[in-house]
Chains A and B, each alone.
Chain A
């Protein structure tokens, strides 16, 4: 589904990604771990086309298509979803209007008629329950006045609404207490299917207690330096990242 080959990217002229290679198959959950500044968030931003990042080398194919040929909004409509590490507030724009625009843009892209108001509200209700998102929050402006946990739930709620084929969860666990973490993780698990894939980007093992990865990668200094099964996450939790640096001779 996703094939990343020798991906290099810069921000403000500084090279952050220095040759990433990664393949994600349908139904797989990949965890990408790594110390601060290793390039985890850059990777997710590059995949969704954030304009601040410049791809200098390499290729990414998504569902056999050149990902970079698509604008950020078309990447979304092609089925890539990013759960932001820091979801922004958009005052004045209600969640309902926001989601309705998003859903209808996706439908238009796929040659479908816009959802009727009642069908849309029904869908909202249904998906809200997946992450226990309060109806009051759904009526508020996008992320405005949401707590950290509510923002992350809101991300997973949007993911449920848009039903992406590839979801990237960028440090979704940061800033969450253990209860919120469980709710969010359960939401992600409910949305799992044999055709959908997930990339979980995280510092810590604890999210992976709830979302079981098939493959764990360690990203360090702009490259994937180690790839293994779920046991790698546990080892990182126990030993930190220093041993990896040592293995690399640093």
Chain B
């Protein structure tokens, strides 16, 4: 009797904690992979495969040579196993043939199946949700939709490699202008070997009529993925950009070192939303994606506005600080983040708000949720330069703990050089208690659902910032990532 009674309650929790990664599968697609290893020849091959102009090859080579002088950064609150950069392959092309498909019929059926498993059938996406999908699978864009509709308004939304071919001047002008190739170890590596990514250009005075969306997916064994996204919003324009991803289960760690650069001109507004659900590794901490991303936006013009919203539930290790440089007077920036870590996941994430212009305003809302044996850190910098009269920042960093084996840390940095600045920082730490869960149980709500209710309640300030299409998915993701992690 005793065994049976006790066993029942414990079993529940254990089973829930061991909830397997729900999108764990791989696709059997012919992949054109370059030999493992990194040297100047590999970079020349990548550049040649993409039929790149000389200036871009130069950019890559300069980055590579600089990268050789850099050391792996160790300041984050992370334990990162040594990565053998010579053991990785730096290019994978899922196209069997050299010519890209022009319609869905030409797309490898295996690829389409993968998209269907992910719940993003392109046809339905096109017809129903009004989202243009630039689906990036491995390194080459497979299919771009709604291009024509967008082109009518002069909006460019294409793969990075297409942009290099079709709009070389724009790419050359803006690429590396916010995240220079010397920026940091991972950004420099990306600058040397980046494979593909997305390019968005919103012309002056244009409001992009639909949310632009890119699905990333890592799908080749041992292929680090080095995406590059460049978004340029001209004066008085507006765009909302969504990035979401899931990846198949893998035993070997996968490196992902992306760069996102955003330029926001006068009176323009860019909203960048991410739902990140890469494979976090198994319950013993084996496998999982390393997500070392450099995301930065420049509020270049007066009265420009940039907002980052992220829901981070995946990856074994996350190293990510979507940042804003508020150069234009009266420009505004926001960072809304929910970062969930469970089992052996580690996250060191936050933002940098660099106030340069007058009367600039930034808001930081960070919600960390730690469970299992995970480590979750918020790291943020608010910098106000001497010229930034009237700068304002409000930061709120909350941590929610589930269980007593996880860690939550907050590292707020402030660097204020102007007496008129108003900077506020609030932080709280709370814990989901067994009493709360039992209270829910007693009303008929299962532990799983109770965790979902509590976590979504905790994170709703951030979830509410997401576009509708993403908010629902994000809510589900939060629950899935944390099911039963209270022990």
Contacts of B449 in A (CB 8 A): 101, 105
Judging by beta carbons under 8 Å apart, are B453 and A101 in contact?
yes
Contacts of A93 in B (CB 8 A): 453-454, 457
Q: Mark B282-312, 1 if CB is under 8 A from A, else 0.
A: 0000000000000000000000000000000
Contacts of B454 in A (CB 8 A): 90, 92-93
A-B contact count (CB 8 A): 95
- Verify if B149 is at the interface (C-beta below 8 Å from A): no
Judging by beta carbons under 8 Å apart, are A109 and B444 in contact?
yes
- Verify if B207 is at the interface (C-beta below 8 Å from A): no
Stretch at the interface among A45-53, A131-139, A220-228, A234-242: A45-53
5 closest Cβ pairs, A-B complex: A92-B457, A76-B444, A72-B441, A102-B443, A93-B457
How many chain-B residues does the 8 Å CB contact rule pick out? 31
**In the complex, how many angstroms separate the beta carbon of B160 from the nearest chain A beta carbon?**
40
Contacts of A77 in B (CB 8 A): 444
Contacts of A87 in B (CB 8 A): 439
Known contacts A72-B441, A88-B436, A102-B444, A54 near B458 by CB under 8 Å: no
- Verify if B2 is at the interface (C-beta below 8 Å from A): yes
- Verify if B430 is at the interface (C-beta below 8 Å from A): yes
**Cα separation A101 to B454 with both chains bound (whole Å):** 12
Contacts of B30 in A (CB 8 A): none
- Verify if B446 is at the interface (C-beta below 8 Å from A): yes
- Verify if B51 is at the interface (C-beta below 8 Å from A): no
Known contacts A56-B1, A90-B436, A105 near B6 by CB under 8 Å: no
8 further A-B pairs in the complex, CB-CB below 8 A; given A55-B2, A105-B445? A51-B438, A52-B434, A71-B9, A71-B441, A73-B446, A88-B433, A94-B457, A158-B443
Please list 5 pairs of residues, one from A and one from B, whose beta carbons are closer than 8 Å in the complex, sorted by A's number: A48-B442, A71-B12, A71-B441, A72-B441, A105-B449
- Verify if A162 is at the interface (C-beta below 8 Å from B): yes
- Verify if B8 is at the interface (C-beta below 8 Å from A): yes
User: For residues 422 through 471 of chain B, which have their beta carbon under 8 Å from a beta carbon of chain A?
Assistant: 430, 433-436, 438-447, 449, 453-454, 456-458, 460
Most buried by A among B444, B446, B457: B444
Judging by beta carbons under 8 Å apart, are B1 and A97 in contact?
no
User: For residues 66 through 111 of chain A, which have their beta carbon under 8 Å from a beta carbon of chain B?
Assistant: 68, 71-73, 75-77, 81-82, 84, 87-88, 90-94, 97-98, 101-102, 105-106, 109
Contacts of A21 in B (CB 8 A): none
Residue of B nearest to A101 (CB): B445
Judging by beta carbons under 8 Å apart, are A82 and B444 in contact?
no
Judging by beta carbons under 8 Å apart, are A50 and B438 in contact?
yes
Contacts of A98 in B (CB 8 A): 440, 443, 445, 453
Judging by beta carbons under 8 Å apart, are B439 and A84 in contact?
yes
**Cα separation A93 to B456 with both chains bound (whole Å):** 8
Judging by beta carbons under 8 Å apart, are B430 and A54 in contact?
no
Judging by beta carbons under 8 Å apart, are B443 and A55 in contact?
no
- Verify if A141 is at the interface (C-beta below 8 Å from B): yes
Contacts of B1 in A (CB 8 A): 55-57, 68
Judging by beta carbons under 8 Å apart, are A91 and B4 in contact?
no
- Verify if B55 is at the interface (C-beta below 8 Å from A): no
Q: Mark A20-60, 1 if CB is under 8 A from B, else 0.
A: 00000000000000000000000000001111101111000
**Cα separation A129 to B440 with both chains bound (whole Å):** 23
Contacts of B441 in A (CB 8 A): 49, 71-73, 76
- Verify if B75 is at the interface (C-beta below 8 Å from A): no
Contacts of B460 in A (CB 8 A): 92
Contacts of B434 in A (CB 8 A): 51-52
**Cα separation A158 to B457 with both chains bound (whole Å):** 20
Residue of B nearest to A90 (CB): B436
User: For residues 6 through 64 of chain B, which have their beta carbon under 8 Å from a beta carbon of chain A?
Assistant: 6, 8-10, 12
**Cα separation A147 to B456 with both chains bound (whole Å):** 25
User: For residues 157 through 181 of chain B, which have their beta carbon under 8 Å from a beta carbon of chain A?
Assistant: none
**In the complex, how many angstroms separate the beta carbon of A153 from the nearest chain B beta carbon?**
16
Among B5, B435, B444, B456, contact of A105 (Cβ-Cβ < 8 Å): B444
Most buried by B among A51, A88, A158: A51
Contacts of B447 in A (CB 8 A): 73
**Cα separation A243 to B436 with both chains bound (whole Å):** 39
**Cα separation A76 to B450 with both chains bound (whole Å):** 14
**In the complex, how many angstroms separate the beta carbon of B483 from the nearest chain A beta carbon?**
15
**Cα separation A109 to B446 with both chains bound (whole Å):** 12
Residue of B nearest to A102 (CB): B443
**Cα separation A82 to B444 with both chains bound (whole Å):** 11
Judging by beta carbons under 8 Å apart, are A82 and B442 in contact?
yes
**Cα separation A98 to B5 with both chains bound (whole Å):** 27
Residue of A nearest to B433 (CB): A88
Most buried by B among A71, A88, A93, A158: A93
**In the complex, how many angstroms separate the beta carbon of A36 from the nearest chain B beta carbon?**
20
**In the complex, how many angstroms separate the beta carbon of B54 from the nearest chain A beta carbon?**
55
Contacts of B12 in A (CB 8 A): 71
**In the complex, how many angstroms separate the beta carbon of B166 from the nearest chain A beta carbon?**
47
**In the complex, how many angstroms separate the beta carbon of B12 from the nearest chain A beta carbon?**
7
**In the complex, how many angstroms separate the beta carbon of A215 from the nearest chain B beta carbon?**
24
**Cα separation A19 to B70 with both chains bound (whole Å):** 72
**Cα separation A54 to B447 with both chains bound (whole Å):** 19
Contacts of A76 in B (CB 8 A): 441-444
**Cα separation A91 to B400 with both chains bound (whole Å):** 11
Judging by beta carbons under 8 Å apart, are A162 and B443 in contact?
yes
Judging by beta carbons under 8 Å apart, are B2 and A91 in contact?
no
**Cα separation A48 to B439 with both chains bound (whole Å):** 10
Judging by beta carbons under 8 Å apart, are A162 and B4 in contact?
no
Residue of A nearest to B3 (CB): A54
